[in-house]
Amino acid sequence: MSDSIQLQAGQARLTLYPELGGMINALEFATPDGVRNVIDGVAQSELPNNPGYRSALLFPFPNRLRDGRFQFGGRSHQFVVNEAATQTALHGFLWAKKISVMAQEKTATAHSIRLRYECRNEPGYPFAADLELSYTLRSEGALDVELTVINSDNCAIPFGIGWHPYYTLGCNLADCQLQTPAMRRSLIDARMLPTGDGIEDERFQSSQSLGETSLDNCFALDADIEGDQCVRFFNPAAGFGLELWQQTGTNGMNFLQLYTPPERQSLAVEPMSCGIDALNTGEGLQVLEPGQKYRGAFGVRLIESV
């Protein structure tokens, strides 16, 4: 494993690994309770495999793909089935790819980095796409992320993107509050794949204690909202929390996965451009013609009240 790269802006600090698709393994903010790492990352020994896909960038699809297979343009394509329990392919391949550092820029209040990956004829995905990833760390306690996909092929290409961070506020989830936008929960079967139905989920539209609530669900946000939609995750005892935003609207990051790990020390809040199994269902699937670009934007900022 090569050395990590660190960004620093004031007391804010970020640690990322270009050899693992630009994954973030630490994000430190200056909170009222002291400088805190708000990312529940991966032990050094686990980094090459990252069993929980923690803070991985997800391409050409987030979430699960039925039987690892999809059809596009009259051809069938097969990914490796990497989740045995559901017999699905999970989270694409970018998380395991070396991504090149193109540039860094540092000012008095921000530190940014731009990375690039050239996708060419990957197993299961015989398309040419260029991915550009940018992180901007801000001294006030914020991280902005942009992921751009460029069709470099001579045919249309399908894809979805996502990010898979696990956030921690230094306490058990039972002591945290959660607030979400209006959203519709996808109903799933025993394989964690969508049934095609959904229900409105209003449990956390006003700030509520997470308590013992268990989540491992995909939600569709209101795609008519052009702008940022936010999840707020808060530790009342410590007096700080995180606002997790994603830019929605036409071709936006209109889907969200929430997951409470069994140890209940963190919460995964995953912005996505599409729903589960989108390469088959078409729900939120992006299709670019040659030369076209797609831009997804999302990030996190420190808050001191819900």
Give the pLDDT confidence score for residue 291 in this predicted structure: 98
Give the pLDDT confidence score for residue 273 in this predicted structure: 98
Residue 86's domain spans which residues?
5-303
Task: Provide the domain count of the chain.
Answer: 1
Comparing 50-54, 70-74, 192-196, 211-215, the range with the smallest average pLDDT is 50-54
Token pair for 138: 């801000």
Give tens-digit pLDDT for 76-100.
999 999 999 999 999 999 999 999 9
Q: What is the DSSP letter of 206?
A: S
Q: How confident is the model at residue 237 (pLDDT cuts 50, 70, 90)?
A: very high
- Which residue is listed with tokens 């069993």? 51
Mean pLDDT for the stretch of residues 188-210: 96
- Which residue is listed with tokens 């921690």? 168
Comparing 1-15, 101-115, 179-193, the range with the smallest average pLDDT is 1-15
Beta bridge partners of 139: none
Q: How far apart are CA 302 and CA 243, in angstroms?
A: 6
Give the pLDDT confidence score for residue 250 in this predicted structure: 96
Give tens-digit pLDDT for 110-120.
999 999 999 99
| pLDDT of 162 over the 60 cut | yes
Q: How confident is the model at residue 9 (pLDDT cuts 50, 70, 90)?
A: very high
Q: How far apart are CA 55 and CA 223, in angstroms?
A: 24
**What are the phi and psi torsion angles at 44 (to 5°)?**
-55, -40
With contact defined as beta carbons under 8 Å apart, do 15 and 24 qualify? yes
Average pLDDT of the chain? 96
Q: How confident is the model at residue 2 (pLDDT cuts 50, 70, 90)?
A: low
Mean pLDDT for the stretch of residues 240-267: 97
Q: Which of 84, 27, 24 is nearest to 54 (CA)?
A: 24
Token pair for 134: 């940018």
The SS3 of residue 153 is coil
Percent of the chain with pLDDT over 90: 94
Give the pLDDT confidence score for residue 5 in this predicted structure: 97
Calculated CA dihedral for residues 294, 217, 241, 170, nearest 10 degrees? -120
The SS3 of residue 264 is coil
Calculated CA dihedral for residues 294, 54, 258, 84, nearest 10 degrees? 100
Q: How far apart are CA 279 and CA 31, in angstroms?
A: 40
Q: How far apart are CA 290 and CA 301, in angstroms?
A: 35
The CATH number of residue 253's host domain is 2.70.98.10
Token pair for 274: 């599409």
Q: Which of 189, 196, 160 is nearest to 271 (CA)?
A: 160
Q: What is the DSSP letter of 19?
A: G
- What DSSP element (H or E) covers 220? strand 216-221
The SS3 of residue 288 is strand
Give the pLDDT confidence score for residue 276 in this predicted structure: 98
pTM as predicted: 0.96
Give the pLDDT confidence score for residue 1 in this predicted structure: 53
- Which residue is listed with tokens 């509520």? 208
Mean pLDDT for the stretch of residues 20-32: 96
